[in-house]
């Protein structure tokens, strides 16, 4: 049976959309990392639904890569000052996902991913708005 991409679960639609709209190297890196994290999340989700515990370490690694790419895209100065609220949201959601994977809690996993996706996408949009203001 051939997988149907329209039926594949998607965990980072906001992030991929926000990063996909930008035309710069930093946004492309975020998008690439988001796609890798999304694939790992889908694999982990299938494991959770099947009652398995595999795939969690790969997912956490991919999420960390995405968080790092987001941090780089945002810039250290903003990430540590004005963006600190967003940084905390990203980190907290990443930890919630990790906890949900370790506990095998599918509902918490899904809920934590919504928060993570919103947090990362918000950072990407903030960066794009700042870059837009600088180029105007």
CATH number at residue 65: 1.20.120
Nearest Cα residue to 33 out of 110, 99, 123: 123
Element (H, E) at 115: helix 106-135
Instruction: Tell me the per-residue pLDDT of 81-124, one tens digit each, with 9 for 90 and over.
Output: 999 999 999 999 999 999 999 999 999 999 999 999 999 999 99
Question: What does 59-112 look like in DSSP terms, one character per residue?
Answer: HHHHHHHHHHHHHHHH-HHHHHTTTHHHHHHHHHHHHHHHHHHHHT-HHHHHHH
Cα–Cα dist 121/2, whole Å: 31
The pLDDT assigned to 21 comes to 67
Asked, for residue 16, whether it belongs to a domain, the answer is no
- What is the pTM (predicted TM-score) of this model? 0.89
- Domain range for 28: 23-135
Count of domains for the chain? 1
Asked, for residue 82, whether it belongs to a domain, the answer is yes
Instruction: Tell me the per-residue pLDDT of 32-79, one tens digit each, with 9 for 90 and over.
Output: 999 999 999 999 998 888 887 676 899 999 999 999 999 999 999 999
Asked, for residue 9, whether it belongs to a domain, the answer is no
The pLDDT assigned to 132 comes to 79
Asked, for residue 42, whether it belongs to a domain, the answer is yes
Asked, for residue 5, whether it belongs to a domain, the answer is no
Asked, for residue 70, whether it belongs to a domain, the answer is yes
Q: Give phi and psi for 107, each to the nearest 5.
A: -65, -45
The pLDDT assigned to 1 comes to 37
Asked, for residue 7, whether it belongs to a domain, the answer is no
Write down the mean pLDDT value for the chain.
89
Asked, for residue 4, whether it belongs to a domain, the answer is no
């Amino acid at each position: 049976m051939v997988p149907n991409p329209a039926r594949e679960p998607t965990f980072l639609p906001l992030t991929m959309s926000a990063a996909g709209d930008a035309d710069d190297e930093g946004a492309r890196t975020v998008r690439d990392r988001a796609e890798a994290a999304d694939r790992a999340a889908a694999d982990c989700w299938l494991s959770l639904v099947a009652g398995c515990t595999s795939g969690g370490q790969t997912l956490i690694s991919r999420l960390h890569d995405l968080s790092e790419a987001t941090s780089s895209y945002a810039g250290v100065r903003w990430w540590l000052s004005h963006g600190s609220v967003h940084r905390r949201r990203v980190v907290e959601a990443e930890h919630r996902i990790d906890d949900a994977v370790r506990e095998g809690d599918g509902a918490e996993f899904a809920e934590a991913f919504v928060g993570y996706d919103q947090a990362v996408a918000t950072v990407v949009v903030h960066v794009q708005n700042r870059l837009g203001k600088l180029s105007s």
